[in-house]
Amino acid sequence: MIYKGTRGEKSITSSEAIIKGIAEDGGLYVPNEFPKIDIPFSNLINYDYKQLCVYILKKYLTDFTEEEIKYCVYNAYDNKFIKDEIAPLVKVGEEFFLELYHGPTLAFKDMALSILPYLLKTACRKLGIQDEIVILTATSGDTGKAALQGFANVEGTKIIVFFPEEGVSSIQKAQMITQQGENTHVVGIYGNFDDAQRAVKEIFNDKEFNNILKDKKYMFSSANSINIGRLLPQVVYYIYSYLFMLKQEEIREGESINVVVPTGNFGNILAAYYAKKMGLPINKLICASNENNVLCDFFNEGIYNKNREFKVTSSPSMDILISSNLERLLYHISGEDESIVRDLMRKLNNEGKYVINENMKNELKDFYSGFASDKETYKIIKDVFEYDKYLMDTHTAVAYKVYRDYKNVMKDNKKTIIASTASPFKFPRDVCKALGIDNNDLDDFQLLDKLSSFANVSIPNGISDIQDRKVIHNNLCKKEELKSQIEKFLKV
């Protein structure tokens, strides 16, 4: 297995792709082929999560030994996850919620960012790299904390996280600015996630700045889902959830299902697309957006247009107008034509929009997309809790609302997995608002107790004492000042 850049960069190994994070021309790395699931599902149902993860990653990381992959997997998925299943599948009514938030930071990003540090360390050792790796990450809320948690005090690395100061929940912000670790640096920016992501990409592509750091024995890598080492572990839990349904006799072997994913940067649903390409029987990939519905328009019209009002919503991890991972999908549906991808990315950069051709539109038939307003999101949270006593966060509610729309329009009764991407306790103000809990005179930390009492659900350990933690990172900067923050932290 080798990896190619979506814009034409030469082929490299998985180790090199994980270390580099992003191609030198700004493209993203993709596998040169999709390996197939070659063990019958009826046999795979006996694999636990870690065994399945080793099986899948061996197919993509072919320059890693099996022992190296096992080292990464078994260190990542240990008792830091509070559920033995790692990613439990919970049946609510007729739907199945894939709870991806039982890791240390209460968000689905833990599923990949728990293993990425081990993959990166192993890759560096394999390639004899002595430079210190600087993980540079922009976050809309959850990636930042999960990356900080994963890389804190990891020898040979430093991690710098930029987040929109006014674009994350109070709980998300507190998780990041209280992060311990001598190698960690957290900076709030005056701007939105797209501003932070754009600035980080520009730094990756700044050859002069990278050369200065190289002379100081530093090299950049990424913990965002633009890094193939972030994306590949996410493929595993879709296959795992299918096997669980099969084991519980909810489906027959080979029966197709739908998968619904609340989508921002497009990495999580792209992982489901990769699982489908490997042979997982997925009927529809349902892409759910909030009111920043640029992806919804793309799938319905074939037009990607970020020239619109940026909206701050109750599902902040999806408040994104430039979905970086979509570039990988463009590469796959264009017949792996780098020239088409380069042209579309140039138009996005220069004009803020692009239109795909008819052949590419036809390749999107596996997808359905819709969006939910905040009002609709709140109603879903309230309705599901009142009817099923199941508590969900705002992002999961967006996904469920879009799934209901899909079901009504398409009259499709196939079994469906809904990716539940964060704990409701990460967004207590909005969840309380949805449930009609009085929250006017309380801060977000006080609302944790109120929500716990109302729903009869314990506050997760990961944030139960969060308001008492010491603030360690008090850094703020303009979106044009990221480079100076990096220089200050690295002392270059």
Q: Read off the DSSP letter of residue 418.
A: E
CA distances from 424 to 171, 378, 383, 421 (A): 11, 12, 15, 9
The three-point CA angle 259-398-462 to 5° equals 90
| Token pair for 254 | 């080979």
CA distances from 324 to 50, 105, 201, 224, 225 (A): 29, 23, 10, 10, 8
Catalytic residue at 109? yes
- From 4, 20, 59, 109, active-site residue: 109
Query: For the chain, what is the total number of helices (H) and then of strands (E)?
Result: 21, 15
* Listed residue (399, 140, 412, 89) closest to 261, CA to CA: 399
Q: Residue 171 in contact with residue 444, Cβ under 8 Å?
A: yes
List the strands of the sheet with 218-221, edge to edge: 218-221, 132-138, 157-164, 184-190, 475-478
Radius of gyration of the chain (CA): 21
Q: How far apart are CA 1 and CA 31, in angstroms?
A: 7
Q: How far apart are CA 158 and CA 275, in angstroms?
A: 32
372: number of Cβ within 10 Å: 30
**Angle separating helix axes 374-388 and 428-435, nearest 10 degrees:** 70
| Token pair for 90 | 């919970």
Is the sign of the CA dihedral 404, 410, 413, 417 positive or negative?
Answer: negative
Exposed / middle / buried, residue 296 (Cβ in 10 Å: 0-12, 13-18, 19+): buried
Q: How far apart are CA 146 and CA 317, in angstroms?
A: 13
Active centre residues (catalytic) = 109
